Structure 1
Amino acid sequence: MKSLKKLLTMSLIATAVMSTSTSISAAEKDWRMATPWSGGPWLERDAQNFADHVNKLSNGDFNIKVFPGGTLGSALKVTETVKSGVAQLSHNYISYDYGVDPTTSLLAGHSSGLTPEEFMLWIYKGGGLELYEQFRLEKSKVVAFPCSVLGTEIFLHSSKKVQTLEDFQGLRLRTSGAWAEIASRLGASTVVMAGSEIYSALERGVIDAAEWGSPEMNKPTGFHEVAKYVMVPGVHQSGGVLECQVNKRKWDSLNEQEQNVLRSSAKLSVFDSWLASSYADLAAYQELKDGKNEIVNLDPSFITKILEETMAWEDENAAKNPWFAKVLTSQRKFKEDMNNWSEYRLKIGESEL
């Protein structure tokens, strides 16, 4: 009888321990996602898509709550929020850490870099994903991988017509990151300001022009209402990616299957974002064409000068930064491999041969 009671007691204890462990495990996977975004497609569509994919692929084991910028920490210091553990993961733009290392500009997308489609090929087939993860882990102590694709941006919304290098020189331009450096070298007077301040600055003439995002992203900003000219193509940001970061301690606590859920969800989100943003850009750009703005195509000689200045800037950084050199070498090699693409593939969007 005593043996039976002992067995029952041990069984109850074991059940209680297992129940407690399950509860703790479930609680640990109620994760907070920090973002820099106050609203719009990157918050409401892309970040939420990732959270939904993780929940579905894990059969509900993960429950991720997406927070807008500023609610879990500084909107421009999301990496610190994740590294400290205030948030378990994030949806972020790596180039916000440009001041830590300019290599971030290559991984985020920069002037005369890779198109959205090239970025996806480089990331998943050209060795880009491995470099991205290694860089983030070494430099920022977080686990990170791309989880959204950025479309080609509008070059400028401007109150002044800009078509040539001469037009660009002296332009009071709102920008950020690598392009702020390169644009300054090309003669612009660059100003860094928060996105929320751009409309007012354009309207009051504090700045002449601003770059922000693709047609879809720019539409709700209203920049086209206070700046007559719209300059294309966006060679300053031909494409890029957003990332999802995971706290390193949390990542290490996951098993391989759980880690694969996060990786697979990120890859699915990249494809989703490419489809959604590419299609939304079509309608948003058509509205600009049909509206009161004047669409201005950059002079080819100006584009060539941007390419040349960008390469000079790249070479200077590669000479003093091993990580920058490693990523740049990989991307340039990939571009060489893409040289014969146009010989057998039709251009997207061209209806005539």
Structure 2
Amino acid sequence: MEMPKTKALALAAATLIVGLGAGAAVAQEVITLKVSDWMPLTHYTVSEGGKVFMARAEELSKGRLKFEHYPAEQLGKAKDQLTLVQTGVADLANIAPAYITEKFPLSGVLELPGIYEGSCTGSYAYATMARPGGVLHENEFKPNGVRVLFSGALGAYRVLTANRKVSKAEDFSGLKLRTAGGPMDRVATLLQANSIRLAGPDVLPSLTRGTLDGVFWPLQSVKPWGLEKALHHMTPNLGVGSFMIVYAISDRAWKKLPADLQEVLVQAGDHATRAHCEYVDANETRTARELEAGGIAPTALPEADVKKIQAEYTKIYEDWAAALDKRGKPGHQVLEAFQKAVKRN
């Protein structure tokens, strides 16, 4: 029997409304991303970078993006963060390229001593090279199945020691100093010190036991890791490298997101990169004063010693790039690209 026209129209309208409602529900579906982090909540890279990134993404997505954050190695050690996103244990992770140099050897360019001044200069230069189309993305992050969203360069690393005061270049000789590996190993060799590679969480116990004499360490990371309890001397006028962390998302998780939420993550990452580096740059001098007031005595090296050491840094750059070239990696290309990016920023 034929349905009356008015009833058919009403049914069609109701069906359309239900369909539109279902579409709106799908469009507004909340997506929760699992974030693994090896740093503690007390570290400024989390509070001024990672947390800023997540809050900005939630804001820009109008609540469609949410995050489950697992800090302080709850899901895995610092060196395991890449594996966690590759295997799907996490969607995003705080990855430290220096801890897995076999996967990210080219990223060591940012760790070269004296290659940039200020966190923002280093962060912006690195971020440019780590985004799609950049030499670091194409050669390191893309092959490893991840995409960088937020780049955070720490401040310049200084030498801090527990009980051995360093007042001249010769005093570095024989010291057991924690480094982040990579180019910092070469700096330790230049200083005739012994490079001991350790991740952040393992440093305080080693200092306390006396198996380390000191550290290559950024000043603003001393208190977040509780190292002020064990360190008593610092060399304020010699930079020995730096360190980069990135918050990266797996390609698997990225491809599941609609285009508008992908753009949200890109914008949130750019926002966090800027917020983090501005915080670092604004607080470096204040932190040095606070550490001195807390009992870590600064002893400046003679200017002649500093110039002599820094004159050797160019050779470290060349050796670093040449070693990568021999492995079939674009070492010199990355070095030149980073130096140009630093000048632009």
In the superposition, the TM-score normalised over structure 2's length comes to 0.82
Alpha-carbon separation, structure 2, partners of 1:16 and 1:72: 41
Q: CA deviation at 1:248?
A: 0.6
Counterpart among 169, 174, 195 of residue 170 in structure 1: 174
Q: CA deviation at 1:257?
A: 2.6
Asked if 1:189 is matched to 2:194, the reply is yes
Match of 2:182, SS state, is helix
Residue ranges of structure 1 left out of the alignment (5+ in a row):
342-353
Q: CA deviation at 1:74?
A: 3.5
Match of 1:216, SS state, is helix
Alpha-carbon separation, structure 2, partners of 1:172 and 1:241: 23
Per the alignment, residue 39 of structure 2 pairs with 37
Alpha-carbon separation, structure 1, partners of 2:288 and 2:94: 26
The answer to whether the Cα contact below 8 Å between 2:111 and 2:183 also exists between their aligned partners in 1 is no
Alpha-carbon separation, structure 1, partners of 2:73 and 2:15: 46
Per the alignment, residue 336 of structure 2 pairs with 329
Measured on the aligned residues, the alpha-carbon RMSD in Å equals 3.2
Per the alignment, residue 290 of structure 1 pairs with 293
Alpha-carbon separation, structure 2, partners of 1:260 and 1:303: 45
Alpha-carbon separation, structure 2, partners of 1:95 and 1:59: 35
Q: 1:57 to 1:17 in 2, by over 3 A?
A: closer
Q: CA deviation at 1:62?
A: 0.6
Q: 1:184 to 1:123 in 2, by over 3 A?
A: closer
Residue ranges of structure 2 left out of the alignment (5+ in a row):
none
Counterpart among 303, 316, 319 of residue 313 in structure 1: 319
Q: CA deviation at 1:163?
A: 4.4
Alignment of 1:221-300 (within 5 A): 221-233=225-237, 235-238=239-242, 241-298=244-301, 299-300=305-306
Q: 1:285 to 1:11 in 2, by over 3 A?
A: same
The answer to whether the Cα contact below 8 Å between 2:152 and 2:276 also exists between their aligned partners in 1 is yes
Per the alignment, residue 208 of structure 2 pairs with 203
The answer to whether the Cα contact below 8 Å between 1:317 and 1:325 also exists between their aligned partners in 2 is no
Alpha-carbon separation, structure 2, partners of 1:261 and 1:117: 22
The answer to whether the Cα contact below 8 Å between 1:83 and 1:247 also exists between their aligned partners in 2 is yes
Q: 1:198 to 1:89 in 2, by over 3 A?
A: closer
Alpha-carbon separation, structure 1, partners of 2:223 and 2:312: 26
Counterpart among 89, 111, 114 of residue 112 in structure 1: 114
Q: How much identity, in percent, do the aligned residues show?
A: 18
Counterpart among 131, 138, 144 of residue 140 in structure 1: 144
Superimposed CA distance per residue, residues 16-67 of structure 1 (whole angstroms, 9 cap, x where no aligned partner): 796389459725x111111111332223332111000001111111111221
Alpha-carbon separation, structure 2, partners of 1:326 and 1:7: 67
Task: Count residues in correspondence.
Answer: 333
Alignment of 1:5-20 (within 5 A): 8=11, 15=18, 19=22
